[in-house]
Chains A and B, each alone.
Chain A
Amino acid sequence: MLARRMQPMALHARRLYVQLMFQVMGNALQAISEVDAEAQQEASALPVGFLFEMMVMPNGPNLIVEHLGDGRFRYHGSSAPRKVNLSIKFKHIAHAFLVLSFQEKTSVAFANDRMIVDGEISYAIRMTRVLNRLEAFILPRLVAQRAVKEYPSNLHLPEKILSASRIYLKVASQFVETARA
């Protein structure tokens, strides 16, 4: 009885978590593109004005990021200024939760058909590499190892702490700005 009453709350909490994680990731993508040269190099191959979306099908939470040029991203929240160029779509909120709670690696989620790519596959591969890089920076190593296929061997603690601090600071200030607005 109690379990049945709790279930809608758990599902609601899961949706809120996914929504929050998309906001964190969107802001963090913008932040990493401002602080990390490797992420910038990956992103710089994208066309200027390129709009990237991650979303939950059919109309679930999403994040929109635009490539401004030179590998820099701008997070647009959940609404795209025009038609997106690339969308990575989770088939269900449960699948998004598995990935965003680091229970399933992004690459494994692709292999498990948890999500589909709508757009140029080579750009999806690049964006996945940027996301992996981001996760390697901002997550503790033990958690990051669950999230990415291979933890970067050249990412050492001082660089990780420094970059993660800068990313978290930028994400926090973006959240404050959003709250003020």
Chain B
Amino acid sequence: MTNKYYEFFCPVKVVAGKAALEHIPFELNGLGAQRPMIITDKGVRAAGLLEPVITACEESELEIVSIYDDVPPDSSIAVVRDIAGIYRAEKCDSIIAVGGGSAIDTAKAVNILVSEGGDDIAAYSGAGIIKHPLKPFFVVPTTAGTGSEVTAVAVISDTEKSVKLPFTSSFLLPNAAIIDPRMTLTLPPHITAATAMDALTHATEAFTCIGKNPLSDAYATSAVKKISENLLSVMDNPKDADGRLELAQASTMAGIAFSNSMVGLVHALGHATGAICHLPHGLCMSLYLPYVLEYNLESIREPLGDLLLYLDGPEAYAATPANRRAEAAIAAIRRMRDALYKKCKLPRTLKETGQVEESQLEAIAALALDDGAIMFNPREARLEDAKAILKKAWA
């Protein structure tokens, strides 16, 4: 018997497809909640994405008691405290997060405070601190990339101490993720591209890093297939609701995959680049993915070769000799990046971003080595390895 072992956990009810938003009142009612608060950001409101949510609730006589629409891109403990105060003052009993990663993470943190009590969210930072189920919590993602609707983590900035506080608990998982194609129809092309590449990276790393397991593999491969089959067509036809739904589902599936098998060096480098150069996370993922796969190649040849089937289809897979499939998978990802560059100028190299100096690469490499994701990378990346990858990704 081998030492193989894994854990897999995803209790989130996924409500996906046409008129999914209209299920919110029924689902909330089923949890005994009648006074929901919406947590979102100004961009979501300005894009008109709140109206269908509010209308869906009002038609079922469910009043949205409060709407907080001022979540910043990098949410802080002060914002969380303020929102918790409003929640209590308005006597809300549940939370609906509508937005991307920041709004969802903020809502998770608010749910900790309003459920556990107190005003100091920092007291709950860390793993396994929360011991009880929290208030009813729904997530309506408006991007198709982060997978935050199915992850048990949140990150909030402590701006006074200049640190990011991580929160990890299965109780942070929402009761339901509402995947409605209306929520992503108006995403601008470059955000559609970057967030889809984020999801592709989640799935690819989940499938190739050391925490992979049979259940997360199933989600990861399905996510890769949906992205490779739909991303470029959605870029050409942004109002394609079916394609949008496929991408949104892929993001959720990739989220389920990576939250149960973790990610690797692409994320370690991406987190470091985001921290130092303030590049969007999805863009960082797209930048580093092929270079890290090349670095890991000999350790991941078999699973990466298997991914060719989902990246390029059965004909290409069958036509490629088994010992060349891993390289062909990387080539397929490169072709996808090239196509995205043509369609929306999504950068393929650090130089193309225009936001990174070559002199910053050393600091990015050093910071990446301290990132938790590096533990799950199949190869033991050292400083020199990280610098070599960054050099390749530079231009």
Contact = CB atoms under 8 A, between A and B. Distances in A.
Interface of A: 45, 98, 103-104, 107-108, 110-114, 116-119, 121-122, 124-126, 128, 132, 148-150
17 contacts: A98-B3, A104-B3, A108-B210, A111-B375, A112-B6, A116-B127, A116-B128, A118-B126, A118-B127, A119-B126, A122-B372, A124-B372, A125-B375, A132-B380, A148-B380, A149-B210, A150-B380
B210 A122 contact: no
Interface in B344-389: 369-372, 374-376, 378-380
Nearest to B126: A118
A104 B6 CA distance: 13
Contacts of A128: 375
Contacts of A148: 380
B380 A113 contact: no
A111 to B, nearest CB: 4
Nearest to A45: B370
A27 B371 CA distance: 27
Interface in B330-352: none
Nearest to B209: A111
A125 B126 contact: no
A117 B210 contact: no
Q: Which of B5, B166, B262, B374 has the most CB of A within 10 A?
A: B5
A103 B370 contact: no
Given A103-B3, A116-B127, A150-B379, A121 B210 contact: no
SS of B interface (majority)? loop
A108 B2 CA distance: 13
B211 interface: yes
B7 interface: yes
A146 to B, nearest CB: 10
B7 to A, nearest CB: 5
Interface of B: 3, 5-7, 126-128, 166, 209-211, 261-262, 369-372, 374-376, 378-380
B127 A125 contact: no
B380 A111 contact: no
B370 A111 contact: no
B371 A122 contact: yes
A114 B210 CA distance: 14
A147 to B, nearest CB: 12
B50 to A, nearest CB: 35
Given A125-B369, A150-B379, A111 B262 contact: yes
Contacts of A113: 5-7
Contacts of B128: 116, 118
A125 B380 contact: no
Nearest to B369: A125
Nearest to B370: A122
Given A107-B380, A116-B128, 4 more contacts: A111-B261, A128-B375, A149-B210, A149-B379
Contacts of A111: 209-211, 261-262, 375-376
B370 A125 contact: yes
B380 A126 contact: no
A84 to B, nearest CB: 13
B372 to A, nearest CB: 4
A50 to B, nearest CB: 14
A117 B127 contact: yes
Contacts of A107: 210, 375-376, 380
Contacts of A116: 127-128
Given A107-B210, A117-B127, A112 B376 contact: no
B138 to A, nearest CB: 27
Contacts of A112: 5-7, 211
Nearest to A111: B211
Nearest to B372: A121
A45 B370 CA distance: 10
Contacts of B374: 125
Contact of B166 (A114, A121, A132): A121
Contacts of B372: 121-122, 124-125
A109 B3 CA distance: 10
Contacts of B371: 122, 125
Contacts of A149: 210, 378-380
A152 B6 CA distance: 27
| Of A98, A110, A111, A126, most B-chain CB atoms within 10 Å | A111
Given A113-B7, A118-B127, A149-B379, A126 B210 contact: no
Contacts of A121: 166, 372
A121 B378 CA distance: 18
B193 to A, nearest CB: 30
Top 9 A-B residue pairs of the complex, sorted by shortest distance between their CB atoms: A122-B370, A150-B380, A111-B211, A121-B372, A149-B380, A111-B210, A112-B5, A113-B7, A104-B3
